[in-house]
Structures are given as C-alpha cells and as structure tokens.
Amino acid sequence: MYLPGEFDYINLMRLGAAPAASGGAARVAVLGFATTQYYAAVLRGLGSAAAFPLVTYEPEYDTVHQTVLDEHSPLYSFRPDFVVFLTAVQRLRNVLLSADQSDRGRIGEHEADQLVSLMRIVSQIPSVTVVINEFVLPYERPWGNFSARVDASLARIVRAINDRLREAAAEAGNVYTVDCDYIASWDGKRAWFDERLWFYSKSFCHPQALPYVAGQAIDVFRAVKGKSCKCVALDLDNVLWGGTIGDDGLEEIRLGELGEGEGEAYLQFQLWLKELRARGIILAVCSKNDEEKAREPFRRHRDMVLKESDISCFIANWGDKAENLREIARRLNVGLDSIVFLDDSAFERNLVRELVPEVCVPELPVDPANFIPYLESLNLFETAQFSDEDRKRAGFYRANALREDEQRKFTSVGEYLISLNSTAAFERFDDYHLPRIAQLVQRTNQFNLTTIRHSAEDLRQFAEDPAYFPFYLTLTDRFGDNGLICVIIGKRDGTRLEIVSWVMSCRVISRRLEEFALDQIVAVARDAGIAQLWGRYVPTPKNGLVSKHYEKLGFRLAEELTDGSTTWELNVSEHVQSDAPIERAALQLES
C-alpha cells in the first residue's frame, strides 16, 4: 500500500490507539501464537492512514485454540470480516528442537494439520476472509549451508509447513497467506528477528517490520473487497525513457544499450510494466506532449519494450493531467480509485493528488534504477484471484478502444451494434467458470444492482441448488472475445423469481446485453412455470449507473424504501422480446 506521508511503527501505533469510528469499519480478529497488541495497533494505524478503518478483536495471549474451538467465544459474536493468524517461528522452533530429530517431520506435519484445521473452522464464519502469516524461515543453521539438505533441519520442516498452508488456502477459496519470509528478507532476517523482544514480550518480529507485514494483510483485505489497482497511468519522459522526446528526439533519449546504465534501468522498468500487463493490469499513457512525438518511440525506437498495442489508452496533449486522468478512467471504464499514476514531476504528482484524490499517486525515485524496488515495496497490485480472464484483460480493454474508434464511423449506434456481429453465451454456472464468476462478483462496483459479495463457496452451492437460477454470460464480437462479463443469480420463491444479483462488467455497457439477458431469463422462467420476476436496486456510492436498470427493462416499480433502495416487478406474460442485435451462442465446453 502507498501511504501519503512518513509513517513508522511508533506513530502508526499511536494512530491505531485512537478508536476508529465503528460505522463502516471492517472487523478484524487477530489470533496470535505470539503477542498481538503491537501488530493490531499498527494494523489499525495503517487502516486509518489508508482510509480503510478497522476495528480489531484479540483474544487473551496464547489462547488461539480455545478461542476457535469454543463456539461461544467472543470471536464468533464479534462477527469478523477478516481473521488474521499470526504465526511465530520462534514458538515452532522450540517445539521442534525439543523433539528427537527422527520425529521432527511428523511433528511438523502435526503442527501444520492443527493450523489448517483451525483455519478451516474459522473460514466457515459467514462471509469471512482469513489471512495466515506464513512462517519466516529460521536463521539457525546447525549444519551450515548443508542444512537445507537435512530432513530434520528447521528450514526444511518450516518450508514444508508453509507449502501445506498455501495448498490449504488455495483449496479453501476464502483463505490467503502472507509470504512473511519475503517480507522478512526485504530488510533481512537481522532486522526482522530480535530475540530480546521474543524472550521478553513474545514479539514475533522487531516492531519496525510491523508496518510491512501488517500492510500485506490490508493489501489482501482490499483486494478481496475489490479495491485493488487495475490500471497504471504513465508519464513518458523520464519515466519510460531518460530525457525529453520533444526536445532531445528519438536518437538522444536514453533507453536500452544507448543510454548506458540509465538506459538499461528504463528498459528494465518497461519489462516490469509489460509483466504487469501480462497479468491483467491495464497500461495507459498520460503525457504532456504532442501526440505524434509521444508515439514515435513506441513505433520506431529499437529498444522500446512497450509497443502501442500494450497501451490501452494513450493520451498525450497539453491539457492538465487531472482532466486527462478522468478521461482515461472514462474511456477505459475503470474507477479513478483503481488507477495508479506514475510521474517523475513532483508538480504533476501534487496537482493530481489535489484535484483527483481518488487516484493513487506514489512518489517516484529520482534514479530510474530505484523505480522497481520502490514500487515493489508498496505491493500495489495485490490480487485475490488470478484467472485466464486476467491474462486477456488488457487486450479486452484495447479492443474496446478500437471499438470506440469504429463507432465514430457509423451514423447511428444501432447500426454500429448490428455491425459488431455479437454472440453471447447464456449458461448455468459450471465449475470451469466459477473462479471468474467469483471474481466478477467480488470486484464489480458500478454495474451491480445489489452489491452482494457472494463467496466462492456460496456460488458453488447455487450451481447445485435447484431453487437457484445462476447464470453467466460471455460476449464475443468481430473485434474479439470479451470473456465472461455478466452474472445473474435468480432464486425461486413459489411462482416468483427473485433476482438476487445482477452484475455486469463495465466494458460491455451500451451493448444492449441487458435486454438480451432479460429475454433469456424470461424464457427460462416461462419454462419453469414462473409468473413474475422481482428485482431490487440497492444504492451504493458507486452504482448510480444502474439506478434505472429495471425501469429501462420495462419493470414496474413495486416499492421505494427509506434507505433509497427500490424493488421492481415484471410479469412474465407481459414481457416483450427485445430486438437486441446479439445471437445466442451454442454451448461450448472449454477445456
């Protein structure tokens, strides 16, 4: 996470000591096999600094088992949104060292079993997300460098336990691990371990490391809540290459071999960005330049790693960057709060922080060789999931920009939509698509009628429950595949079908896909003997876009509640089939 301003563990703990306003704060239970006070205070401090308020519950020291196993313990009445398990390799090492070497493998497995079973119990709490700190690899090496080859060495056993935790997390679906050994190794084990503090106060690390390790948990929380960075907006001069393309020209900018060490640093940074793109982060350009000049290196510089096709939205003009970032958000259909803006100019950074405070604007080191280490230390791109869709996403957004260009050639939008030759699949949930379905349900904020974040497990159950009508849609057109972009979950109640959730990706807005979807639902409902559809709109700060969704689809307003939500009805017999220009695709089983 990026925090504006200087924070160390002492002022974070002070910040965390002030109680968070409990309204809207996420509830975190901190279960520790070590002292939890320092960690919990830093966690709350980070939460306030990052405008992600947290309230915490910590059981008495060293009572994790009792707390989890007692169904009447305060853990369950606390109703946590998140549970964090704090592990301490210092405790584990004593368990292992007191055992005979031949027994240690077995004891390690037993420790892992216990942790996994606690984690499984806690993961059953409704709509909870569980985070486990993996064990930091111990610094003791009785066999020296040979230790890693000895089965009974602490390092071997701790590695095996960590592997087990990761596997169990992957199986559970709502459990994530924090790679503490990575965090510890960033500053080194000498900075992480302070044996005095372990012996005196059972601190699992020196508190100076707490902002990093607690920050990782918050990064996971935010990713699970769909509040992660989806787009990097890049300045060009002195960010992607050294020098000024407008003044220095193509031959003089420093990039790759021609720029000596500095040029290599920019090249490396481009490779780093390209890798982000490959995992689904959208790249955009936001530069003060003449557009033709700004595009020249992308087209003609031989060491340029990023090509024009890697940039989903390219804005180079002399307008102010705040306005240009809004334009990028609009064109790409992403929220301003999911954009990271990278610029070497302190003036531009501060301007954007002032005028578009939603955008994340980290500092940028003066030396390009420090770009990657600095940005990696912020862990801006945490994710709760990774699917095939992510790999393709940046491409989807680029295809979208091409579609927008094309749109200008047609006199009417209707004509244009027909020319797209769209086909859409409308199918009941299946195992293959569940990860992407869960992702869409977790992440979508704008086109989301009820914003219910169904867990992966709930979604799996809907698929098998005959009372539920859970459907996904995919959309393909002549520009390419848009992937799985819509999820609709209906629940039968007698002769009525309640639309529990209707979620759609913003990249397929204005394609009349809603009308197509409704036609399909009505057909399914009719076959099932359902007489009426019933839908609900629950307003949030982000979903104003769909406040008239049901009205536009011909539903009748049934009720308007004081919290601003509305309910809507449509009699199946009164539905008029739409003429949306979308073909229903035949069911294809992907492999």
Partner 1 sequence: MASLAFVFEQVFGRPVELTDATTAADVEGWDSVAQILLILASEREFGIRFESSELANVANVGAFVTLVKSKLRTGEQA
- State the residues that interact with partner 1 by CB under 8 A: 10-11, 13-14, 37-38, 41, 196-197, 199-201, 203, 206-208
d(CA 476, CA 482): 6
Nearer to partner 1, 200 or 318 (CB): 200
If the CB atoms of residues 13 and 394 are measured against partner 1, the closer one turns out to be 13
Spatial separation of the C-alpha atoms in residues 449 and 564, rounded to whole Å: 13
Note whether 536 and 527 are within 8 A (CB): no
Which H or E run contains 149?
none
Cα angle 105-110-113, degrees, rounded to a multiple of 5: 125
How far is Cα 17 from Cα 329, in angstroms, rounded to an integer? Answer: 37
Distance CA(434)–CA(30), nearest Å, equals 30
Minimum separation from the CB atom of position 42 to partner 1 (A): 11
Q: How far is the CB of 62 from partner 1 (least distance, A)?
A: 16
Q: How far is the CB of 207 from partner 1 (least distance, A)?
A: 6
Rounded CA separation 221/235 (Å): 29
Select 90 or 324, whichever has its Cβ closest to partner 1.
Answer: 90
Smallest gap from residue 201 Cβ to partner 1 (A)? 6
Angle, nearest 10°, between helix axes 388-407 and 321-332?
A: 100
Among residues 62 and 109, whose Cβ is nearest to partner 1? 62
> In which order are the strands placed within the sheet that holds 582-584?
556-560, 566-571, 532-537, 496-504, 480-493, 468-477, 422-428, 582-584
Q: Is-contact 269 217, C-beta < 8 A? A: no
DSSP-based three-state secondary structure for 288: strand
Q: Give the shortest CB-75-to-partner 1 separation in angstroms.
A: 22
**Structure token digits, residue 37:** 């006070």
Helices 180-187 & 210-224, crossing angle to 10 degrees? 140
Closer to partner 1 at the Cβ: 207 or 435?
207
Q: How near is the Cβ of 457 to partner 1 at its closest, in Å? A: 38
Phi/psi of residue 73, nearest 5 degrees: -70, 155
Taking the complex as a whole, the smallest distance from the CB of residue 562 to partner 1 amounts, in Å, to 41
- 394 with 312: CB under 8 angstroms? yes
Cα–Cα distance for residue pair 535/146, rounded to 1 Å: 65
- 57 in helix, strand or coil? strand
Closest to partner 1 by CB, 39 vs 135, is 39
With respect to partner 1, which residue has the nearer C-beta, 61 or 432?
61
The residue among 42 and 50 lying less far from partner 1, judged by its C-beta, is 42
The full DSSP string for 107-141 is HHHHHHHHHHHHHHHHTTSTT-EEEEEPPPPPS--
Minimum Å gap between C-beta 58 and partner 1 is 12
Name the 3-class secondary structure at 151.
coil
From residue 147, how far is each of 150, 336, 359 by CA, in Å? 5, 50, 47
Q: Measure CA 553 to chain center.
A: 31
Least Å distance, CB 196 to partner 1, is: 5
In this complex, which beta carbon is closest to partner 1, that of residue 18 or of residue 148? Answer: 18
Closer residue to partner 1, CB minimum distance, 38 or 266: 38
Q: Give the nearer residue to partner 1 in terms of CB position, either 46 or 239.
A: 46
What is the DSSP pairing of strand 532-537 with strand 556-560?
A: unpaired
Closest approach, Cβ 380 to partner 1, in A, equals 28
CB atoms near residue 330 (< 10 Å):
11
Smallest gap from Cβ 37 to partner 1, in A, equals: 6
